Structure 1
């Protein structure tokens, strides 16, 4: 119980994978949540272990409140939860006037209900020890909006608002709640995006790397960020 544990939702691939690797390298026991990508989560866990870190995987759907509550209770029974990274999210892009109702609700539910379902029971554990750090992944789309992503932009903007409100509620209890808003990052989510066109809109004229996001998350989880809460840090090459 001396080693602090970090929970990373959607931790098997992309930015979540990079965050898991980064936090494990800092000494956290990392629990990688996944919903369907078990193979990817296992690969990330094995990579962490090969590098000398500690990690385990845990499959549960963050949109299922009961499953999330049960999972957090199971983790808390054997681990000292010091960090939660809300990384899981999905996209279902399309013009708003043509967007199916399911696409709207699936994206919103995964982001916002997922945040509620996991963060609430984790905060209750952190409040008992009067310390902890919650970092939630938003997006540049949640700050400036993005054509064809009304659902995603709404979800990510909602995470910013929720995080700011929660940060004010738990700050006196020694718990910090912050947001990281990535721009275009080299992950599976941009494989079909017009990358060359989008790069023209990025002042730094390149795509970001998952590790660049992970290092900012690591900073916010550390004591180096002990007086930072309710903040939104963009990692977007200047897009925001």
Structure 2
């Protein structure tokens, strides 16, 4: 009699790298996502253990591919830079993204945003920023201890958000009549890729002008030296020591 062997194997859990949702609903929302994400990458370019991503799936719980979300921008301190298909927290020393941004569009619904807030609340986000570029409405939440329940904490709205400096990112948020402005620790403003390119071009032109001025000064100095050498030679021909004049 042949005995059938029964193996206790579980099917491999697949963690999709896409939620099949568009990154943005319109050009304005997309521009803001890219601008914040790229400027944060520039800001932390020399810090090896800060990972920045945009529209990137985050799976906080091993074995469950249903618990997930894709923040518009997320920043993780304590994790190396590098390419990933998704952020599987258990493969990242169980470090949750500390800072997330959501850029709103007319398609965002209150139910959806409440769901995201609960997700970030439950899974350890320390700072959560929400910007509506159409309404120029900026909201920030920060994790604080709950005085009513010692030992627990929650995300709480930042009351004075205008001029607020992120504890983690050390960037400053300034609200104007027309837009949200974000400033680096050194005072430089977050710029779009076009603005950054224009700034680089201006800096290049200034550097070229300085180079040309330095070259002209060098040429003038060389001409003065040549004239002085010729005059000295003439004086010596006449028996005069130019060094004693």
TM-score, normalised by the number of residues in structure 2:
0.34
Larger Rg: 2
With CA pairs under 8 Å and 6+ residues apart, which has the higher RCO, 1 or 2? 1
Q: Which has the higher helix share?
A: 1
Q: Given the two structures, how large is their TM-score scaled by the length of structure 1?
A: 0.34
